[in-house]
Amino acid sequence: MSQTMLDGYACVPYMHDHRSIEIKDAWYASNNVENMFFVTATFSSDSKPYFPSHANHYLLAKFSDNAKITKDMAMHPQEKTAFVFNISSELFERDVEGTMNFVSVYYLEYSKSDEDLSDLAMVVSKNDRVSKASTGNMLTFSSEPSKFTFPYSNNMVVLEVSSQKSHQSVNKYCEMTRRNVCRKGITMTNMVGLSILEKLK
């Protein structure tokens, strides 16, 4: 039986070493990678205990086939944690002003009903800087596994944000959106904010 092909984001630590350059070159040449960015990652205090070996800088790749990218990452784990966010459901996508400069990743602490997702989409859509909102699951790769298992991997929410504002301003705006979602009774917690420093592909 063939597996469903999922698109999404891969996030690999950029350590300015030979391995990082190899990955960057391979992704640049890959038809599976649509876009690639150099990003700064800011992990929330809630998520840090689960990912003690996280990095500050990552290569962020937008891919079209998760099977290809996860196979490659599983073969070459690094000490610092790498992430794959598989998109299983798109809440909405629209054109907004500006280019994407921020990707905000959250997790829902409870399983999500269709009604919850509908409410979440409605609240997030009021943030006019969010160009795309999706839900999905997360995989992690590390040669030094965490002592704690992250229990929310199947309840991920990924927001793509486009704005001319500073990363701090966008982050505050996303936090306001998160609080508005929580007011609907949906416990959405910030995992990591990815600030795009440079588009590489």
Least confident of 14-18, 41-45, 57-61: 14-18
> Using an 8 Å Cβ cutoff, are 7 and 84 in contact?
no
Q: Flag whether 56 is in a domain.
A: yes
Q: Flag whether 2 is in a domain.
A: no
Q: Flag whether 57 is in a domain.
A: yes
pLDDT of residue 2: 41
Total structural domains within the chain: 1
Q: Flag whether 79 is in a domain.
A: yes
Q: Flag whether 1 is in a domain.
A: no
Host domain of residue 26: 7-199
Confidence band, pLDDT 50/70/90 cuts, at residue 5 = low
> For position 61, which CATH number holds?
3.30.70
pLDDT of residue 76: 75
Which residues fall within 8 angstroms of residue 194, CB to CB, at 6 or more apart?
11, 37, 39, 40, 41, 58, 60, 102, 103, 104, 105
Confidence band, pLDDT 50/70/90 cuts, at residue 1 = very low
* Mean pLDDT of the 118-127 span: 93
Q: Flag whether 43 is in a domain.
A: yes
Q: Flag whether 117 is in a domain.
A: yes
For residue 63, the cross-strand partners are 8, 33
Q: What is the pLDDT of residues 74-103, one digit of tens each?
A: 877 788 999 999 999 999 999 988 889 999
Q: Flag whether 192 is in a domain.
A: yes
Q: What is the pLDDT of residues 140-167, one digit of tens each?
A: 998 887 778 899 999 999 999 998 777 7
- Judged against a pLDDT cut of 50, whether residue 6 lies above it is answered with yes
**CA–CA dist 7, 136 (Å, integer):** 10
